């Protein structure tokens, strides 16, 4: 621990607003508290929540780092009191409440995992927020089972590509929506039975034609008028799970449709959960997803890798929606 620098570079938001308000500054490197490990970050994953935080719309949980970044990968640089199962130099990846856009980041040890065998740091930085989100929403709240049908909106996003790949690998019949032919093809390549270009096709009509009686689970990051449309194509006892509202924060619910089909409408966020709750999700993906990574059955889709100093450009790319999969910041 004595070899740690007193300060190290991180991306700081100078004021709320656009990407131009981000800059590299040296910040203090703090030792990990009891139950934590300190990670020498080598790569950090971008998420749309980072842009919302930068704009002032998504503050970190109380007591968490003000630095953006919900997932990272790197090496264990220091170990807090009471931590077992890790040693200095271990290659790890972690789910964070914040702090990933930095050279060093402290995290509760129960939110960290060994890097999957054969994975690069960039791959490790692409999995924790997305696969934890997919696991807790699609498989825990949505209760997706082998042989059931899943519809993923935003199928070419970081979360979308993870959901398509994981659900297909675990035996579900997957459908996805995306906004270009290239993005639709990416979803099919990951295991989707059909990808629907929502700009040129009506996904409701396509799902009806393809399935006859609809889908069992919907993973929705659009919100707005998608909710009622989704409910119209759900099977009996279907589960609709909301994880974002990019298309609008309010919706009208056709109550009679919900009653007749005995539907469940739910949703969740991950960031505000306690370390213990996050640790339970992390254990779930370690048991279920790590074997799929290490056998080569699935892998994270990486759109691009940029230096930490180019975080503003990375934010512009994720906000453009031009990406397919994850955008990664490399930390030297």
- What does the pLDDT look like over 55-65, one tens digit per residue? 999 999 999 99
**pLDDT of the residue at 2:** 52
Cα-Cα end-to-end distance for the chain: 19
Nearest C-alpha neighbor of 265 from the set 249, 245, 241, 248: 241
- At residue 294's C-alpha, the angle toward residues 85 and 299, to 5°, is 115
Structure tokens at 268: 């969740």
The percent of the chain in helix, strand and coil, each rounded to the nearest 5, is: 35, 25, 40
CA distance linking residue 330 with residue 311, whole number of Å: 10
pLDDT in tens, 115-146: 999 999 999 999 999 999 999 999 999 999 99
Query: Partners of 152 in the beta sheet?
Result: 176, 219
Counting residues of the chain whose pLDDT is more than 70, the rounded percentage is 99
Nearest to 114 by CA among 81, 75, 83: 75
Give the chain's length: 332
> In this structure, is the dihedral angle defined by the CA atoms of residues 93, 267, 157 and 164, taken in order, positive or negative?
positive
DSSP three-state, residue 43: strand
Is the model's pTM score more than 0.85?
Answer: yes
| pLDDT(1) > 60 | no
163-176 pLDDT tens trace: 999 999 999 999 99
Mean pLDDT value of segment 193-208 = 98
DSSP state of 60: P
Q: Of 207, 259, 216, which Cα lies nearest the Cα of 235?
A: 216
pLDDT class for 3, splitting at 50, 70, 90?
confident
Classify residue 89 by its DSSP letter: T
Percent of the chain with pLDDT over 90: 99
């Amino acid at each position: 621990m004595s070899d740690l620098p007193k300060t190290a570079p991180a991306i700081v938001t100078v004021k709320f607003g656009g990407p131009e308000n981000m800059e590299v500054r040296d910040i203090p490197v703090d030792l990990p508290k009891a139950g934590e490990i300190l990670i020498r970050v080598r790569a950090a994953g971008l998420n749309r929540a980072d842009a919302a935080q930068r704009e002032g719309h998504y503050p970190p949980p109380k007591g968490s780092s003000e630095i953006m970044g919900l997932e990272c990968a790197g090496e264990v640089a220091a170990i807090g009191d009471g931590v077992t199962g890790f040693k200095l130099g271990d290659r790890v990846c972690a789910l964070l409440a914040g702090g990933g856009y930095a050279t060093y980041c402290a995290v509760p040890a129960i939110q960290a995992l060994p890097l999957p065998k054969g994975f690069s740091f960039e791959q490790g930085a692409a999995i924790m927020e997305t696969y934890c989100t997919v696991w807790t929403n699609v498989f825990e709240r949505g209760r997706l089972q082998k042989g059931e049908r899943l519809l993923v909106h935003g199928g070419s996003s970081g979360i979308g590509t993870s959901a398509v790949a994981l659900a297909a690998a675990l035996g579900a019949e997957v459908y996805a929506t995306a906004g270009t032919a290239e993005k639709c093809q990416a979803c099919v390549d990951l295991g989707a039975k059909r990808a629907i270009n929502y700009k040129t096709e009506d996904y409701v009509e396509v799902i009806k034609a393809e399935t006859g009686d609809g889908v069992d689970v919907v993973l929705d990051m659009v919100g707005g008028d998608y909710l009622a449309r989704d409910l119209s194509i759900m099977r009996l006892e279907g589960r609709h799970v909301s994880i974002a509202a990019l298309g609008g924060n309010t919706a009208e619910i056709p109550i009679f449709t919900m009653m007749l089909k005995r539907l469940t409408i739910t949703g969740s966020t991950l960031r505000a959960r306690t370390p213990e709750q996050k640790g339970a999700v992390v254990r779930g993906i370690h048991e279920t997803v790590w074997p799929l990574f290490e056998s080569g059955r699935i892998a994270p889709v990486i759109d691009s890798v940029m230096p930490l100093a180019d975080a503003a450009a990375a934010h512009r790319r994720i906000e453009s929606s031009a990406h397919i999969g994850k955008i990664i910041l490399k930390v030297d």
